[in-house]
């Protein structure tokens, strides 16, 4: 009788252990799936251009839309800190200041010419925001488990941060905001960090 009780207790303990292991395995599988399907989105506000210099220089429009020497150094600094982050692609809006910022980042990462997408021009209304969110969703499907850099403008940065955190946030030129995009939602990891210029 006593041996039977011990055997029953041992069996119950074994069942509990196996159940706990199964839960751990399920949790590990879920975490691995989340990692493989998540997109790390690095939202970069373009570096300083002559447009933002005060007082504004009397330059032609094309020159105003190009990076200052400080802006070029800041863009290179962004690229340097994103090395080793698994960046698969760099996308920019089609302005001079965003293209030049993106080119410096891509060069630092050893990637080819950045893609351009007008959807990442400054967000001005709900329709524009919907197009931006759809573009990010497409990037998440294409680059699941990797990272993508989007070089854009202040209003678009604020809108993406609001999507991830619930509140908009203004960020400086040359800053990085990190957002994790998963099928279950968006999470803001860091907002408006400006890497030091070497």
CB 116 within 8 A of CB 58: no
The CA distance from 62 to 80, in Å, is 27
Neighbour-count burial of 198, counting CB atoms closer than 10 A to its CB (0-12 exposed, 13-18 middle, 19+ buried): exposed
pLDDT score of 37: 74
User: What confidence tens digit (pLDDT) does each residue in 38-74 have?
Assistant: 999 999 999 999 999 999 999 999 999 999 999 999 9
User: What confidence tens digit (pLDDT) does each residue in 145-170 have?
Assistant: 999 999 999 999 999 999 999 998 99
pLDDT score of 17: 52
pLDDT score of 66: 97
Element (H, E) at 108: helix 96-109
Q: What is the mean pLDDT of the chain?
A: 88
Which range has the worst mean pLDDT, 33-47, 98-112, 139-153?
A: 33-47
User: What confidence tens digit (pLDDT) does each residue in 180-196 have?
Assistant: 999 999 999 999 999 99
Q: Give phi and psi for 58, each to the nearest 5.
A: -85, 70
The CA distance from 48 to 29, in Å, is 44
């Amino acid at each position: 009788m006593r041996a039977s009780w011990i055997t029953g207790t041992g069996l119950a303990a074994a069942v509990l252990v196996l159940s706990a292991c199964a839960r751990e395995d399920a949790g590990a599988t879920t975490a691995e799936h989340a990692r493989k399907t998540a997109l790390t989105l690095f939202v970069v506000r373009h570096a300083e251009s002559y447009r933002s210099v005060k007082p504004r220089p009397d330059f032609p429009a094309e020159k105003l839309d190009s990076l200052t020497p400080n802006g070029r150094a800041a863009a290179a600094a962004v690229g340097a800190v994103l090395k080793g982050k698994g960046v698969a692609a760099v996308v920019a809006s089609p302005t001079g200041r965003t293209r030049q910022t993106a080119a410096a980042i891509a060069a630092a990462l050893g990637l080819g010419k950045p893609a351009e997408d007008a959807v990442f021009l400054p967000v001005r209304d709900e329709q524009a925001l919907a197009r931006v969110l759809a573009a990010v969703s497409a990037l998440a499907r294409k680059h699941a488990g990797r990272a993508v850099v989007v070089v854009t403008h202040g209003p678009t940065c604020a809108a993406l941060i609001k999507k991830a955190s619930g509140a908009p946030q203004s960020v400086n030129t040359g800053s990085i905001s990190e957002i994790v995009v998963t099928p279950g939602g968006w999470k803001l990891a860091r907002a408006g960090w400006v890497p030091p210029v070497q």
